[in-house]
Structure 1
Amino acid sequence: MIDTIQQTFNEFSERNPHMVQAALRAVEKGKIPKLAGTLSVDKVAETLKKPAVSLENNFPVAGDLEAIVRLIGRPPLLVQGDAVVQEPLEDFPADIGARIRATEKWLPSVGRVEFINHDMRWGGTGWVVRRISDAEAIVVTNRHVAKIVARRAENGAGLFMRSPAGILMGMTVDFNEEAGARPQDSRDVRVTKIKYLADDIAADVALLMVTADGGALRMPAAINLLERDARDKELIALVGYPAYDSRNDAAAMSRYFRDMYDVKRFAPGYIIKPAVNAVLSHDATSLGGNSGSVLLSLEEDGAIGLHFAGLYGRYNSAVSAPTLEKLLNGRIVVPGSSAGDETNANEAVSAASSFSDRTGYNPGFLEKGTVAWPRLPEDLQAELATPSDTQPANPHELRYTHFGVLLSAVKKLPVLTAVNIDGKSSVRIKRGKDKWSFDGRIPKDQQMGDPAYIDASIDRGHMVRREDPNWSSESNEAESQQANNDTFHFTNCAPQHSSLNQGKALWQGLENYILDSSRTHGFRACVFSAPVYRDDDPKLDAGVKVPLEFWKVVVTLNETGQSLHATAYLLSQGQLIRDLLEKRNRTEAIEGFVLGAYRTFQISISDLAEATGFDFNGLEAYDPLRKAGTQEGVEPGQPILVPVYTPEELVL
């Protein structure tokens, strides 16, 4: 057993010579008792042989050999007034004090990452890595810190999540939070956007866009990123916010941190292993809360890495500065990969030439009557984008496989879609990983891409549902797959507010019912869908307005198969219905009108036409709700609508 202890101790000594030397000096000076007087041989063996435990920046428990080594010579110095409160540092060069003072200019740029609408008050450290202006900057922290209140989007950005109570969570960064600082001394900036949130196999990094509101606070300077990897045994310092960590011995932490946590500290140390596949190791003291701390070089002016984790009693880990630089330039780096595995995160664009065989929406699809595109209100018609493959019959239609889209070049969103559904020839295609693309037939700046969906409260909603155009009269699987892929263009989606979720369940039930019925009965359908755009729609930071209502018109053949049958549906809180009542001066109805939860209504096509300004080319004549007598108690002038609670209640 003694041989095992000696072998393990020798290996540790080779990895951490500075720590062992400091411990031996402390024993010689009587600052701590000799190991033989405090630890049994069995205890030492148990300590040295136990497996490493992955804990977030945990210093070892007092009484274990490695903990004794780490607790000597690596004090986490306090920061006050943007300066380090220095103590004797026997394990470092004689000029360590001057080296520390030279780095103090970076201390105001390190902040504590705090949470909004979360049970945890704060969760880590962040620091300015790019300064955009006096009021804006990019702050870098760890993925696992940001993921406490956010999730990763498909484009690599982060989306703030909602609390169990449905309240949107968020983050701020306070660049003060020093020992003795008063609440009024806080230097808070707001996280307005998570520019990048790494996935679980990539370097543990998140890039936060922050804004200083009100103009009183000037954004701190960006810490210089060194262009090189760390050197072996390089002198460094970790700057961050260590927190009380119950995984450690309370007495040891109290003695080492003097019962003062959650405040900015400066912990000197050494690099113990240079970067290998984007990860480097150091021995500076840290606790939970140091996640996202800056690793400064004390030999050159700047940051050498981003601290993210540690192995119990062995080393702490950091992402290298060159990796951070690549991420800031839009390249994603996966630890363990070679430089050739870097990928650009640019959004895809489908070439205009790739749509040469698309025929779009077919107005004669039902054979017993033409179902023409509805005519748009003048204001929407004037906004339409014109594709490069325009055709005289409908010069603004973006033609896809079995469906078409009319897109507003001003709103950068669809104003109307039309799809042909053939239930008899429907092909079921399993949904894979969504990949959204721009349409190369119109300018990219006329299409709203991912920025419209960064906010966690906004969903990306297909206007033409993915499954609807997936059919082929000749069992051509390639044609069906092409239709499926065509639905994943930004031209075919509109932002939907998360508050639609309850009503959206019935809306999707309606869509499922239409498709399933067409499959079961083998009938065909023409379906028009559109958002209802209003001047007072909520506006996102990206500049896009979020429509709060959507309508759908479904046209099939009647039971005899000799005439058309048309119905209309509305997903709404009731805004459109309220507008109709106001337009018709129905004051007695308006007095009792209350906007409620989102619901799905079946509405008469004539009322939908009046409310939206669309002309449905006479489809009103084929609507079963065309007569006011369809609903008992409906007076003349009142909107004709049926609240839908189950798909079986639909009048198809």
Structure 2
Amino acid sequence: MAAERRTSASPTLDRPATAGPEPPTAGYDPGFLAVPVGTPSLDPSIKDTAVRLDGSEVLPYTHFSLALSKPRRFAIWVAWNIDGGALKKLSRAGLDFVTDPRVPAEDQVDNDLYKGGSANRLDRGHIARRADLCWGPLPEAQRANKDSFFYTNITPQMDDFNQSRRNGLWGRLEDAVFEDVDVDDLKVSVFGGPVFQEDDRVFRGVQIPRAFWKIIAFMDQGTCKAKAFLLAQNLVLPESLDLDEFRVFQVKVTEIQKEAHISFPAAMTDADTLVVPQSLGERQPLESQADIDWG
């Protein structure tokens, strides 16, 4: 399925002609919390692989921004803000997954990966959750709802991914911080993305990520805190699309930086006070929300 790839070391994003409207440019707000939290920078090893828009590696949408990998065609990272006091409950009815008209089609994984009905067990999974983005004045929340369906915010997940007990915890992390912590102003900033590994299996010409990460930043009684999580899953492809096992771990922000080849501002690393064993193999996966250390 994969289209022929361009090999330029420093890709520049040209705006292709399109009949549809372009996404808005508000994007992730680094000043959303009382302590400014900027977006991550790409390590030199991958910096030249990012798709660029007007010279920038950051693509803005409503309430979120992301950096897109040209060789992998998925987001390297996605950053989004959640205003828990202004959330709107909006339907997804009538909204379709679409490619971003600002990004060349060959730089995005589109619906071709997911075709095939019940014979194809891959689903389209949001990195920035749709429900997280639907806040603010109604027109703004509606635009964020629509923007969440751009393929640049999507990665493949197994069809039973959302039925798993442990993934249920993964999907509730943002909700859990509001339930378990007295979050200042009911505002959090979240970062997430896939972990790209050289041995990720190929399906329909696309390397399928089998691990994901997420970091939640928030203010707790005037103190900035950052909590990082890693979801490791094992996909067997292409012979069969079976989910062998995946586990959710609480990790250090510095570990996410290493896995994702990115660097966060000092505000993020300074806000992470988690103490963990040196080896990931020595840790127990999270079994329930009660296992999360928000302190």
The TM tier, using the shorter chain, reads: 0.7 to 0.9
- Looking at structure 2, the residues matched to 407 and 605 of structure 1 have their Cα atoms a distance apart, in angstroms, of 21
Whether 1:648 aligns to 2:290 is: yes
Report deviation, 1:459.
1.5
Compute the displacement of 1:378 (Å).
2.6
Q: Return closer, same or farther for 1:457/1:525 CA change in 2, 3 Å cut-off.
A: same
Aligned to 2:131: 467
Match of 1:354 among 12, 15, 22: 22
> 2:259 and 2:112 mapped to 1: Cα distance?
30
Q: Deviations over 1:215-239 (max 9, x none)?
A: xxxxxxxxxxxxxxxxxxxxxxxxx
Q: 8 Å contact 1:518–1:525 — kept in the other structure?
A: no
> CA 1:445–1:520 in 2, change beyond 3 Å: closer, same or farther?
same
SS at structure 1 position matched to 2:230: strand
Output the CA distance in 1 between the equivalents of 2:127 and 2:271: 24
Alpha carbons 2:194, 2:260 under 8 Å: kept: no
Q: 1:648 Cα deviation (Å)? A: 3.1
| CA–CA separation in structure 2 for the residues paired with 1:544 and 1:428 | 34
Closer, same or farther in 2 for the Cα pair 1:432/1:350, shift >3 Å? farther
The SS at the match of 2:217 is strand
- CA separation of 1:603 and 1:620: change in aligned 2, threshold 3 A: same
Correspondence for 2:3: none
Give the letter for the 1:504 counterpart. N
The one-letter code of the counterpart of 1:638 is S
Matched, 1:447 2:108: yes
Q: Does 1:599 align with 2:247?
A: yes
Q: Determine if the alignment matches structure 1 residue 432 to structure 2 residue 93.
A: yes
8 Å CA contact 1:468–1:515 kept in 2: the answer is no
Q: Decide whether aligned partners of structure 1 residues 613 and 413 sit closer, same or farther in structure 2, where only a CA change above 3 A counts.
A: closer
Partner of 2:31: 364
Matched, 1:621 2:285: no
Q: TM-score scaled to structure 1, two decimals?
A: 0.38
Between structure 1 and structure 2, the one with the greater Rg is 1
Q: Within the alignment, does 1:611 sit opposite 2:293 as a pair?
A: no
The root-mean-square deviation of aligned C-alpha atoms, in Å, is: 2.8
CA shift at 1:641, angstroms? 5.0
Structure-2 residue corresponding to 1:507: 170
Offset, 1:510: 2.0
Cα shift readout 1:111-154 (whole Å, capped 9, x = no counterpart): xxxxxxxxxxxxxxxxxxxxxxxxxxxxxxxxxxxxxxxxxxxx
Say which structure, 1 or 2, has more relative contact order (CA 8 Å, 6+ apart): 2
- Provide the C-alpha distance between the structure 1 equivalents of 2:151 and 2:161, rounded to a whole number of angstroms: 20
Q: Deviations over 1:368-417 (max 9, x none)?
A: 22211112233332111122xx37xxx12211111012111222211110
| Match in the other structure for 1:567 | 227
Q: How many aligned residue pairs are there?
A: 264
Q: Identity, % of aligned pairs?
A: 29
**TM superposition shift of 1:353:** 5.0
Compare 497-506 and 378-387 and name the one that shifted more: 497-506
Q: Conserved in 2, the CA contact under 8 Å of 1:624 and 1:651?
A: no
Q: Distance in 2 between matches of 1:363 and 1:460?
A: 28
Where in structure 2 are the equivalents of 1:366-445 lying within 5 Å? 366=33, 368-387=34-53, 390=54, 395-445=56-106
Give CA-to-partner distance per residue, 1:283-333, whole Å, 9 cap, x none: xxxxxxxxxxxxxxxxxxxxxxxxxxxxxxxxxxxxxxxxxxxxxxxxxxx
Separation of aligned partners in 2, 1:438 and 1:477 = 24
- Is the Cα–Cα contact under 8 Å of residues 352 and 441 in structure 1 kept in the other structure? no
- In the alignment, does 2:151 pair up with 1:490? yes
Is the 2:218–2:225 Cα contact (8 Å) retained in structure 1?
Answer: yes
User: Any stretches of 5+ residues in structure 1 without a counterpart?
Assistant: 1-348, 576-595, 629-633
TM superposition shift of 1:522:
4.5
Please tell me the residue identity of whatever aligns with 1:365.
Answer: F
Deviation at 1:521, TM superposition (A): 7.1
Give the counterpart letter for 2:213 in structure 1: W
Q: For residue 424 of structure 1, give the secondary structure of its aligned residue in structure 2.
A: coil
Q: What SS does the corresponding residue of 1:567 show, helix, strand or coil?
A: strand
CA contact (8 A) 2:190 2:217 kept: yes
Deviation at 1:437, TM superposition (A): 1.1
The structure-2 alpha-carbon separation of the partners of 1:606 and 1:614, relative to structure 1 and needing over 3 Å to count, comes to same
- Between the aligned partners of 2:50 and 2:177, the Cα distance in structure 1 is 29
State the alpha-carbon separation in 2 of the partners of residues 419 and 570 from structure 1: 18
- Contact 1:602/1:642 (CA < 8 Å) preserved in 2? no
Residue 530 in 1 paired to residue 165 in 2?
no
Equivalent of residue 552 in structure 1, options 209, 214, 217: 214
CA distance in 2, matches of 1:540, 1:648: 37
CA contact (8 A) 1:423 1:519 kept: no
CA contact (8 A) 1:414 1:491 kept: yes
- One-letter code aligned to 2:208: V
The letter for the 2-side match of 1:468 is D
Is the 1:499–1:598 contact (alpha carbons within 8 Å) kept by the matching residues of 2?
no
Distance 1:566-1:378 versus aligned 2 partners, 3 A rule: same
- Per-residue Cα deviation, 1:26-50 (whole angstroms, up to 9, x for no partner): xxxxxxxxxxxxxxxxxxxxxxxxx
Structure 1 residues 266-345: aligned runs within 5 Å: none
Superposed displacement of residue 624, structure 1:
2.9
Aligned 8 A contact 2:76 2:260 in 1: no
Q: 2 CA distance for matches of 1:519 and 1:440? A: 40
SS where residue 419 of structure 1 aligns? strand
Partner of 2:14: none
Q: Deviations over 1:165-221 (max 9, x none)?
A: xxxxxxxxxxxxxxxxxxxxxxxxxxxxxxxxxxxxxxxxxxxxxxxxxxxxxxxxx
Q: Which residue of 1 aligns with 2:4?
A: none
Aligned counterparts of 1:624 and 1:352: Cα–Cα separation in 2: 45
Q: Is the 8 A contact 2:247 2:285 kept in 1?
A: yes
Q: In the aligned structure 2, how far is the partner of 1:521 from the partner of 1:416?
A: 25
Could you tell me the TM-score, scaled by structure 2's length? 0.80
Distance 1:479 1:546, change over 3 A: same
How far residue 614 of structure 1 moved from its aligned partner, in angstroms, is 2.1
Compute the displacement of 1:438 (Å).
1.2
Q: Given that residues 423 and 521 in structure 1 are in contact (C-alpha distance below 8 angstroms), is that contact kept between their aligned partners in structure 2?
A: no
Q: How far is 1:422 from its partner?
A: 0.7
Name 1:638's counterpart in structure 2.
279
